[in-house]
A and B are shown apart, each in its own frame.
Chain A
Amino acid sequence: MSDVMERTKTIELRVLRYRPVSDQQPVFQAYQVPYSDDMSVLQLLQSIKDTQDGTLSFRWSCRMAICGSCGMMINGDPRLACNTFVRDLAPNPITVEPLRNFPIERDLVVTVSDFVKKIESIYPYIIPKTPKSIEAGEYLQTPAQMAAYESFSDCINCMLCYAACPQFGANPDFIGPGAMALLQRYNGDSRDGGQQLRLDSIAGEDGVWSCTAVGVCSDACPKQVDPANAVNQNKTKSALDFFLRFIRPKAQAAGAKS
């Protein structure tokens, strides 16, 4: 038996296209694409680009839901195209649009620079509690201490949670669910001493306080990172930090110094 399944059926794929040179605004274009039951939506797009329309632009890399490149709106929901199978959506036409809440660069490609800036803004690295030399050995951690943050380290930066978040749609400066998951990955790490520094960076309106606990970000996450949990437990921490600074001025001063 052949490794490749025969593409015996055809499906309509409606793609929202935007060519900055020639289009004033995005327009839908329909393609009739042969498919087989083992194909993903990403493979449909690749098939179009290879055989029908070489000008179609979209991002992809790993094809196995780990690189986070092929996030797009599929039938209105934020999904990874490689992780969404045609057989689950057929025989109805499939609609594909660029990720919601992001500026469109071209076709299904969106601007990611603001998201990258947000990731950088939350100190995405371990700031050791007590720095030590390489000779002094590694920083140790128990399995229980690792379990406290491990799930937040599963984020693949696919930005589906941002496309799912209506508050990010209303306020593009909102730090958003993905960056907060990364923040919690470091703030929850027993080896880390940068909690106060990161908490200070997310205390304002554009920090955690734009979140109204809609929770759809966690439903959209393809890696079950639960970014809504990361944002909302940090609301509690941010509120505690605000009130506790009145009764522990010394701790605040120490935090500001580090």
Chain B
Amino acid sequence: MSERRPYVRAQPRDWWARKPYLGYTLRELTGAGVALYGGILLAGLISLARGPDAFEGFRSFLSSRLSLLIHLLLLAVMIWHVVTWFQTMPKTMPKLIAGGQHVPQQKLTVAGVALAALCSVALIVLVVAVGALS
């Protein structure tokens, strides 16, 4: 006798916390870190618009220990965000062919991260230079 009774196993609710998906979950969570940092910058901008007193308050928050801790944490989150962003980027593009050969995705990731690093260094140099001249 044959009887068809397909059994459907439910997807575990915590699939996102399990291996191989944990890396993906952390990658997506870094987006929240980017948003948080955007919020800090926005708070600075609003303080600036409100006048010198408000902006001084924002600056004294920036120089606090708590702010330093948050910024160190956000720096780590941001670096991870950049690296994983450039790891995902080649997956979203048509296959690049140069000289009749596929350009390996690894190369695109390295080039992207290097460009981001270069831009960051250039920005730091610019800020320091402007600070020294003013």
Question: Which residue of chain A has its CB nearest to the CB of B90?
Answer: A229
Q: A216 and B21: CB pair below 8 A?
A: yes
Q: Which of B11, B93, B101, B102 contacts A169 (CB 8 A)?
A: B11
Q: A18 and B20: CB pair below 8 A?
A: no
Q: Which of A103, A143, A144, A232 contacts B8 (CB 8 A)?
A: A103
Q: B11 and A18: CB pair below 8 A?
A: no
Q: B92 and A20: CB pair below 8 A?
A: no
B107 within 8 A of partner (CB): no
B100 within 8 A of partner (CB): yes
Instruction: Please name all residues of chain B whose beta carbon is closer than 8 Å to the beta carbon of A244 when the two chains form the complex.
Output: none
Instruction: Please name all residues of chain B whose beta carbon is closer than 8 Å to the beta carbon of A214 when the two chains form the complex.
Output: 21, 24
Taking CB atoms and an 8 Å cut-off, the chain A residues in 218-258 that contact chain B are 218-219, 226, 228-229, 232-233, 235-236
B41 → A minimal CB distance (Å): 26
CA gap between A216 and B77 in the complex, in Å = 22
A215 within 8 A of partner (CB): yes
Interface size on A, residues (CB 8 A): 36
Taking CB atoms and an 8 Å cut-off, the chain A residues in 89-142 that contact chain B are 100-101, 103-105, 111
Instruction: Please name all residues of chain A whose beta carbon is closer than 8 Å to the beta carbon of B50 when the two chains form the complex.
Output: none
A30 within 8 A of partner (CB): no
Instruction: Please name all residues of chain A whose beta carbon is closer than 8 Å to the beta carbon of B5 when the two chains form the complex.
Output: 20-21
Over the window 34-51 of chain B, the binary record of Cβ atoms lying under 8 Å from chain A Cβ atoms (1 yes, 0 no) is 000000000000000000
CA gap between A170 and B16 in the complex, in Å = 12
Instruction: Please name all residues of chain B whose beta carbon is closer than 8 Å to the beta carbon of A25 when the two chains form the complex.
Output: 7
Q: A144 and B100: CB pair below 8 A?
A: yes
Instruction: Please name all residues of chain B whose beta carbon is closer than 8 Å to the beta carbon of A226 when the two chains form the complex.
Output: 91
Over the window 56-98 of chain B, the binary record of Cβ atoms lying under 8 Å from chain A Cβ atoms (1 yes, 0 no) is 0000000000000000000000000000000010111111010
Question: Which residue of chain A has its CB nearest to the CB of B88?
Answer: A213
Q: A215 and B24: CB pair below 8 A?
A: yes
Interface residues on B, range: 20 to 34
A65 → B minimal CB distance (Å): 21
Question: Which residue of chain A has its CB nearest to the CB of B97?
Answer: A147
CA gap between A104 and B102 in the complex, in Å = 39
Q: B95 and A213: CB pair below 8 A?
A: no
Question: Which residue of chain B has its CB nearest to the CB of A77?
Answer: B20
B131 within 8 A of partner (CB): no
A148 within 8 A of partner (CB): yes
Q: A213 and B7: CB pair below 8 A?
A: no
A151 → B minimal CB distance (Å): 8
CA gap between A215 and B97 in the complex, in Å = 22
Q: B91 and A147: CB pair below 8 A?
A: no
Q: B1 and A21: CB pair below 8 A?
A: yes
Taking CB atoms and an 8 Å cut-off, the chain A residues in 3-52 that contact chain B are 18, 20-21, 25-26
Taking CB atoms and an 8 Å cut-off, the chain B residues in 1-21 that contact chain A are 1-9, 11, 15-16, 20-21
A194 → B minimal CB distance (Å): 17
Question: Which residue of chain A has its CB nearest to the CB of B101?
Answer: A147
Question: Which residue of chain A has its CB nearest to the CB of B21?
Answer: A166
Instruction: Please name all residues of chain A whose beta carbon is closer than 8 Å to the beta carbon of B4 when the two chains form the complex.
Output: 20, 105
Among B7, B15, B20, B90, the one with the most A-chain Cβ atoms within 10 Å of its Cβ is B7
Instruction: Please name all residues of chain B whose beta carbon is closer than 8 Å to the beta carbon of A111 when the two chains form the complex.
Output: 6
CA gap between A236 and B91 in the complex, in Å = 11
Query: Interface residues, chain B, CB within 8 Å of chain A?
Result: 1-9, 11, 15-16, 20-21, 24, 28, 88, 90-95, 97, 100-102
Extra 5 A-B pairs, beta carbons < 8 Å, given A215-B24, A226-B91 = A20-B3, A103-B8, A104-B9, A148-B95, A233-B92
Task: Rank and list the top 6 A-B pairs by shortest CB-CB distance, nearest first.
Answer: A103-B6, A20-B5, A169-B11, A232-B92, A104-B7, A214-B24
| Interchain residue pairs with CB less than 8 A apart (7) | A18-B7, A20-B5, A105-B4, A147-B102, A151-B102, A214-B21, A226-B91
